[in-house]
Amino acid sequence: MTAEMLKPRFTGARVTRIEDARLLRGQARYLDDIAAPGMLEMAFVRSNRAAARILSIDTSAALRVPGVKAVWTFADIPITLVNSAYPVQQPVLARDEVRHVGELVVAVIAEDRYTAEDAAELVQVKYDPLPPVLDTRAAMTDEPRRVHADRPNRFYHKVQETDGFQQAFAGAPRKLKLTFTTHRQTGVPLETRGCAAMPDPASGRLTVYATHQSPHNFRAQLARVLGLPENLVRVVVPEVGGGFGIKAMFYPEYVVVAEAARRLGRPVKWVSDRTECLLTDAHARDAVHEVEVAFTEDGRIVALRDHVLGDTGAYPFLGFAGAVGEAGWATDMLTGPYKIPYVSITIDCVFSNKAPTGPYRGVGGPIGAQVHEGVVDAIARELQMDPADVRRVNFIGPDDFPYETPTGNVYDPGSYRESLERALALVDYERLRRQQAEWRKQGRYVGIGLCSFVEPSAFAESEAGSIPYEAASVRIEPNGTVTASFGLGPTGQGHETTMAQLIADQLGVDVKDVVVLHGDTDSAPFGGGTGGSRSGTIGGGAAVRAGQELRTKLVKLAAHLLEASEEDIELTEGKAQVAGVPARGLSIRELARIAYTDVGRLPEGMTPGLEVLVRYRPPMAATYSNGIHLAVVEVDVKTGFVRVLDYVVVNDCGKLINPMIVEGQIHGGVAQGIGSALLEELRYDGNGQLVTTSLMDYLLPSSTDVPRMRIEHLETPSAAEGGFKGMGEGSLIGAPGAIANAVSDALAPFGVFVTDLPIRPEQIVRWVRQGA
Amino acid sequence: MTAEMLKPRFTGARVTRIEDARLLRGQARYLDDIAAPGMLEMAFVRSNRAAARILSIDTSAALRVPGVKAVWTFADIPITLVNSAYPVQQPVLARDEVRHVGELVVAVIAEDRYTAEDAAELVQVKYDPLPPVLDTRAAMTDEPRRVHADRPNRFYHKVQETDGFQQAFAGAPRKLKLTFTTHRQTGVPLETRGCAAMPDPASGRLTVYATHQSPHNFRAQLARVLGLPENLVRVVVPEVGGGFGIKAMFYPEYVVVAEAARRLGRPVKWVSDRTECLLTDAHARDAVHEVEVAFTEDGRIVALRDHVLGDTGAYPFLGFAGAVGEAGWATDMLTGPYKIPYVSITIDCVFSNKAPTGPYRGVGGPIGAQVHEGVVDAIARELQMDPADVRRVNFIGPDDFPYETPTGNVYDPGSYRESLERALALVDYERLRRQQAEWRKQGRYVGIGLCSFVEPSAFAESEAGSIPYEAASVRIEPNGTVTASFGLGPTGQGHETTMAQLIADQLGVDVKDVVVLHGDTDSAPFGGGTGGSRSGTIGGGAAVRAGQELRTKLVKLAAHLLEASEEDIELTEGKAQVAGVPARGLSIRELARIAYTDVGRLPEGMTPGLEVLVRYRPPMAATYSNGIHLAVVEVDVKTGFVRVLDYVVVNDCGKLINPMIVEGQIHGGVAQGIGSALLEELRYDGNGQLVTTSLMDYLLPSSTDVPRMRIEHLETPSAAEGGFKGMGEGSLIGAPGAIANAVSDALAPFGVFVTDLPIRPEQIVRWVRQGA
């Protein structure tokens, strides 16, 4: 019986999320719910300057507060984080100098958080201010100064150009120049960051609870920084309330907490408050793309040039410099779903006296899509074509797969044109365009925005440092229920459900009989964790393969016991059944009992037990999902308020494991995309002070900003196990461009073309006044 | 490179115990160290009657005590334990009737133990006393009544006789009749029993911390009793301070604690006090062996008859009825190291109104050895031969292996005769006998006692219910250190060290680089736990095999990277080295880094990672260690005090993993054997009240009772992986018989022959008076 012959009962079905039973009842156990007798808590004194030399730190008053156990500066904990690619020194507590507002300066450890915070306020830090580096362009030439004295601010420079670009560009009949900007934003997970460390002075092992997307990466980084072997560090990730990439990074607080637990011999916890999050959770975006496009009279794009300026803030994260990663993704995917033969890419990334940037859902994807979709719509406007038609002219066609982009990506088959047509049909595009014209006559400014995108995901390159595989450890327990363990780091995506669906189908058991464990490096097989939309495809592949291996053993055992041939055994509804002979069957429970505790009945040579550890690596470097977002917005030209009237998503992530979960991902991504396009900005003032330090200032979309969506699925399978493709980021990749293009379209009568996100109401009012 | 070619660096060496760093510093974390916010504690009202009907239980006063959360009787928790082979009902809290002193009647759950105990004292239980069943022989005919109304007291009867026994017995020239008795004893681990349960109301999973020898068995039993699937129960066994078989059983308290945690939604803990332990920890021994032996004039034993009467107390444990297990082992091994062709065995086991009996280190082994060694010494006395000579006449010889005993055991090769000769040489036996004669003339009663034994161990039968295998999950971490996880349940034996030794040698790393985890059913592969001296042989075999599998992969990877042939790769001192070319090598750390995070460099087809799950089942039903104990004692005939003057052990458990740990096992077993022979007795009075409820009454050997020992090792390998044989129980199997024979020898001038253990001073005084 092969996997192909399986009639899946759960895979592809709208199985109710197993984890929702606890999440929706408020019974989940997050980091801040971790408590242990004798646990200390930590608070930090953070820099209130963007750039300054530290003249003195006086901790004496803080140390006198009853309940305070320790007050540490860099002198007490002289540990420095160093990104191996961009080796600037990031002291976990500031050494002689502070480089951004929010940087850690002093750690206060006390019996409880209240005491720690009160004592932190008594710490006196004297600063000698320095001129802050805040402007990206100026920073390129080390103006006004260097952020790190020993390195130029421009720490990264890359040029990539297709052979023949210059000639193609020069020879094209039409050209356009556009500058796209996305300002600083961040993921703002509902649960803030934190960690808690518990020492075992006896064995020397340290258990660290962390809100993190990759337990094993976290362990590797912490162990390396503390100089501990990995087998003496146990990382446990409890329930995580959202990550969005923010929680894939390693932050200096974790080092201080872990080291405090080791030195003081007591559990120590720190959980950030919202202001700390906005100050120091990985910031993102903050890039300028200077674009030139060359195209034909019929709208065919010939060549595309992009010069990216990215600001990575004061320090690169370990293993990830935000600006480099974002610019890399955005330009690598610069041609999106289009057959553009020539590209020229230049990337410059600088340090500044702002908070470090890192990954945020989709990384450079939203900017990349904003660029190529902005370019397509600008061409449409220039040539007075319908934006849909410019897309039709340029799409990679069904016969082009596997398609290699000018940046070297090899796309697996997708449904670019088909997605567009489905989306247009869903809104009755022709009718809608007529309606739009009607409304305009009535003074209603309604716009239609499209955003086609390709989402690279489930990265499985074999280059050094990458983890292009995932493992599943699956055990059928002696009583026939199933326990599966993964190195994934779910932050709410529903992996417990999707992995259980895949395993249940292989074993012919109920999805409720499969318990999925994760987050504990002691029980989980080594894995890369969650990020880059890899869990469903790579983790899911491991789940399927592990299920297959157990299935093969179950079938062999059942055939032996039932005296039937293996080909005739079906696993279904918790039983192994001889096909067509209802009387001849054995429950999985009975097979499990025999496999573990009645091993005299096993066939010759069969190992006892039903327990496998399987590692899966997809056969390709990445999968490429695709989709299109279509937004209909109305702009109130008096107030600048943008209302989303309609929203359609056509998404193709290959074979669906659970459409309900896929749709949940799309709902969330669109909501974040609306925030990204219309609301969210981390804004620094001229002194480098972050002025958006609460959710009153950093505006998130609420339920009134997010429309009902219509979602359709296409399923163009990948060559990965199960035909899955990653899809966790596509919705945030598609949404900002769709909103931007819709606003441009609405405000076309005023000559407005949006290239700067987020679009603020005051800006709209200004544009309308200028254009009217 | 094969395993045979390895030069082990750690296996066989006196490696310092890794776990001692925490144990000796008092830093280990035992069950009672488990604390959790909101944890409740439990105390029990226990029966103070051996047999009575319960007329009424008044819990009202207890319920009024502030801090009391619940007071439960059987009506509240109507759960009953049932042994599938002997299906009498054991309510977890007594239902209508109590059947032994110490039986649980009422559970009190309160904010702390003090409150719970105070409230327990306020519970009023009214009893209608019944005549208790206390005498084993009377119980056979249901006198004075049945313990369980629906079943005869004699619940087990078995007869086994070699064909031709009657004729052989009748035809032998000499016969002797002897009755051997061992009274009730128990294991008395330093750490008392207990458990703590923590519910997760959200996932429905229950985590139970338990002091237990088999995490997976405990989970299976608890899950079955509570009606939970096994994947919703997590069992964590923290440090365990001694088990000795006692902690291999499943006790009713555990059910009440787990159910309380589930119902009250809070962590609940119970730890027994010493009196509770003495009342209800599995009692053991308590058997009478009525023996007849037929032999020739030269001391050759022809036929041996044994009728065993065993008392299992009020209830069988789940999966193990103490008296049946003990009588079974004792009679199965009745012929010990001797070539006795004919046996006739009858076993009768009864219920009584005493505490349930279960396994205690060596189970029936000490009694079996007491019997066959008593028989040999009785023959020697009868024929006026030297006891060593009677042994020499009867030993199974080196050419007899594999030797099948009349009870069907197939012994692997051992060193029976050689052990005896080594022990005799160690004490200069001839000189010692002359010295003894000298002393006797001086009125000093010194005796020499021998006890040869065969220890069956590492049971790996394939009969239903047995777990004849063990698994090792071993991972080389990305930084090159090693984490290994086992389903074993160490109680102080040093498995973390021995398993690390075996794995380190396979991988060529330092033993300190191997962390061994165990005790957590979430992280450990399924295993049978610790008991029957199986961990070293079966668990050790799994460790070796897992190490070999990883070794093979490391060698293959190193050969590929170093462009060498696999045959030329040596793993040693943390490096893979091309033999004879010091410059060509790669550290295990670098190999691990590549295997996990630089997988483009792996050879074609190699799976990333270095993580294996290996299950090992030995090729034989059991291994058979052997040895001999030689005790020299002096008896003060005025006071009856027995002093051990010299003690020699020659032990053969096949290949040694760590001689220091083997010797530690011997030291402890001999200490317990001296207690068993001279001190320990759980004594019931005529009403069925246990009168030995503290360590003032139940006497344990102290350091002044235990002599320095001389230990020699022989190493006759088994056919199991590594040539290991189990040895955890042999020392307690050998010691009581050696002491008994030594006391008999010392008191031979008074005609004393000891068959009744323990030997109490007042009995010695009585014997001497009678014999003098």
Are residues A294 and A262 part of one domain? no
**φ/ψ of residue A381, rounded to 5:** -65, -45
| Domain stops at, among A616, A651, A669 | A616
Interface contact flag, B25 A597, Cβ < 8 Å:
no
- Determine the Cα–Cα distance for residues A602 and B315; give it in Å rounded to an integer: 33
Minimum Cα–Cα distance from A19: chain B residue: B203
Enumerate the H helices of B186-227 as residue ranges. Answer: 215-226
Name chain B contacts of A592, Cβ cutoff 8 Å.
none
Measured in angstroms, the CA of A458 and the nearest CA of chain B are apart by 16
Are residues A468 and A442 part of one domain? no
Mean per-residue pLDDT for A597-612?
Answer: 96
- CA torsion sign, A88 to A94 to A97 to A98? positive
Measured in angstroms, the CA of A510 and the nearest CA of chain B are apart by 13
Measured in angstroms, the CA of A68 and the nearest CA of chain B are apart by 22
A608 and chain B: CB distance < 8 Å anywhere?
yes
The tally of domains found in chain A comes to 3
| CA-based nearest residue to B615, from B516, B536, B528, B546 | B546
- For B513, the closest of A223, A229, A609 (CB atoms) is A229
Name chain A contacts of B520, Cβ cutoff 8 Å.
522-523
A residues 225..244 contacting B (CB < 8 A): 229-232
- For B597, the closest of A229, A232, A464 (CB atoms) is A464
DSSP states along A335-355: TTTB---EEEEEEEEE--SSP
Minimum Cα–Cα distance from B265: chain A residue: A27
Name chain A contacts of B203, Cβ cutoff 8 Å.
21-22
Is residue A692 situated within a structural domain?
Answer: yes
B residues 454..513 contacting A (CB < 8 A): 461-469, 471, 473, 475, 477-483, 485, 513
DSSP states along A596-619: HH-GGGS-TTPPSS-EEEEEE--S
**What is the tens place of the pLDDT at every residue in A186-231?**
999 999 999 999 998 767 899 999 999 999 999 999 999 999 999 9
**What is the tens place of the pLDDT at every residue in A458-505?**
999 988 899 999 999 999 999 999 999 999 999 999 999 999 999 999
| CA-based nearest residue to B319, from B531, B73, B540 | B531
- Determine the Cα–Cα distance for residues A189 and A245; give it in Å rounded to an integer: 10
Minimum Cα–Cα distance from A223: chain B residue: B479
Is residue A164 situated within a structural domain?
Answer: no
In a mutational test of the B interface, the residue from A515, A517, A518 whose CB has the highest number of chain B CBs within 10 Å is A515
Task: Give the N- to C-terminal CA distance of chain B in Å, as an integer.
Answer: 70
Name chain A contacts of B228, Cβ cutoff 8 Å.
none
Domain span at residue B508? 463-616
Ranges of chain B with pLDDT below 70: 1-6, 202, 772
User: Nearest 5°: CA angle at B605, between B600 and B610?
Assistant: 75
**Domain with A374 in it: what CATH number?**
3.30.365.10
Six token digits for residue B87 = 């299906």
CA distances from A408 to A331, A411, A417, A617, A621 (A): 11, 9, 22, 21, 11
Measured in angstroms, the CA of B204 and the nearest CA of chain A are apart by 9
Are residues A719 and A759 part of one domain? yes
- Determine the Cα–Cα distance for residues A88 and A103; give it in Å rounded to an integer: 15
- Determine the Cα–Cα distance for residues B292 and B169; give it in Å rounded to an integer: 9
In a mutational test of the B interface, the residue from A22, A226, A477 whose CB has the highest number of chain B CBs within 10 Å is A477
Interface contact flag, A607 B615, Cβ < 8 Å:
yes
Minimum Cα–Cα distance from B36: chain A residue: A36
Is residue B33 situated within a structural domain?
Answer: no
Minimum Cα–Cα distance from B234: chain A residue: A483
Statement: residue A4 has pLDDT above 60:
no
A108: part of which helix (H) or strand (E)?
strand A104-110
pLDDT class of A1 with cuts at 50, 70, 90: very low
Interface contact flag, B224 A479, Cβ < 8 Å:
yes
**Domain with B119 in it: what CATH number?**
3.90.1170.50
Is residue B651 situated within a structural domain?
Answer: yes
The owner of tokens 């649980």 is: B104
| Domain stops at, among A573, A591, A616 | A616
* Residue type, position B375, single letter: V
Interface contact flag, B468 A608, Cβ < 8 Å:
yes
A residues 525..564 contacting B (CB < 8 A): 525-526
Interface contact flag, B231 A463, Cβ < 8 Å:
no
Mean per-residue pLDDT for A68-89?
Answer: 97
Interface contact flag, B478 A220, Cβ < 8 Å:
yes
Measured in angstroms, the CA of B718 and the nearest CA of chain A are apart by 21
* H helix count then E strand count, chain A: 19, 31
Interface contact flag, A469 B608, Cβ < 8 Å:
yes
Contact predicate B663/B650, CB 8 Å: no
Mean per-residue pLDDT for A256-271?
Answer: 97
Task: Give the N- to C-terminal CA distance of chain A in Å, as an integer.
Answer: 70
Is residue B21 situated within a structural domain?
Answer: no
Are residues B708 and B728 part of one domain? yes
Are residues A644 and A497 part of one domain? no
Name chain B contacts of A467, Cβ cutoff 8 Å.
596-597, 608
Name chain B contacts of A609, Cβ cutoff 8 Å.
469, 471, 525-526, 615
Interface contact flag, B607 A613, Cβ < 8 Å:
no
Minimum Cα–Cα distance from A229: chain B residue: B481
Are residues A746 and A668 part of one domain? yes
User: What's the ipTM?
Assistant: 0.93
Q: What is the mean pLDDT of chain A?
A: 96
Is the preceding peptide bond at B144 cis, omega within 30 degrees of 0? yes
Is residue B27 situated within a structural domain?
Answer: no
Q: Give SS3 for B329.
A: helix
**φ/ψ of residue A760, rounded to 5:** -95, 145
Are residues B296 and B445 part of one domain? yes
B757: part of which helix (H) or strand (E)?
strand B756-757
| CA-based nearest residue to B231, from B650, B599, B526, B666 | B526
Is residue A350 situated within a structural domain?
Answer: yes
User: Nearest 5°: CA angle at A426, between A424 and A432?
Assistant: 65
Interface contact flag, B613 A463, Cβ < 8 Å:
no
In a mutational test of the B interface, the residue from A221, A224, A233, A526 whose CB has the highest number of chain B CBs within 10 Å is A526
- For B220, the closest of A478, A515, A526 (CB atoms) is A478
Contact predicate B538/B458, CB 8 Å: yes
Beta bridge partners, B41, equal B110, B269
Are residues B99 and B72 part of one domain? yes
Are residues B350 and B431 part of one domain? yes
Please give the pLDDT value at position B200. Answer: 81
- For B598, the closest of A201, A230, A464 (CB atoms) is A464
- CA torsion sign, B689 to B695 to B700 to B705? negative
pLDDT class of A3 with cuts at 50, 70, 90: very low
Q: What is the DSSP letter of A227?
A: T
Is residue A147 situated within a structural domain?
Answer: no
Please give the pLDDT value at position B772. Answer: 67
B residues 660..689 contacting A (CB < 8 A): none
Interface contact flag, B28 A202, Cβ < 8 Å:
yes
- For A223, the closest of B22, B464, B479 (CB atoms) is B479
A/B interface, count of CB pairs below 8 Å: 179
What is chain B's alpha carbon radius of gyration, rounded to the nearest angstrom? 28
| CA-based nearest residue to A50, from A694, A693, A689, A691 | A689
**What is the tens place of the pLDDT at every residue in A750-768?**
999 999 999 999 999 999 9
| CA-based nearest residue to B664, from B674, B672, B655 | B672
| Domain stops at, among B130, B145, B169 | B130
Are residues A475 and A363 part of one domain? no
Are residues A633 and A609 part of one domain? no
In a mutational test of the B interface, the residue from A27, A218, A230, A233 whose CB has the highest number of chain B CBs within 10 Å is A230
- Determine the Cα–Cα distance for residues A345 and A165; give it in Å rounded to an integer: 11
Minimum Cα–Cα distance from B595: chain A residue: A467
Are residues B484 and B355 part of one domain? no
Indicate the burial class of B352 (C-beta count within 10 angstroms; 0-12, 13-18, 19 or more).
buried
pLDDT class of A772 with cuts at 50, 70, 90: low
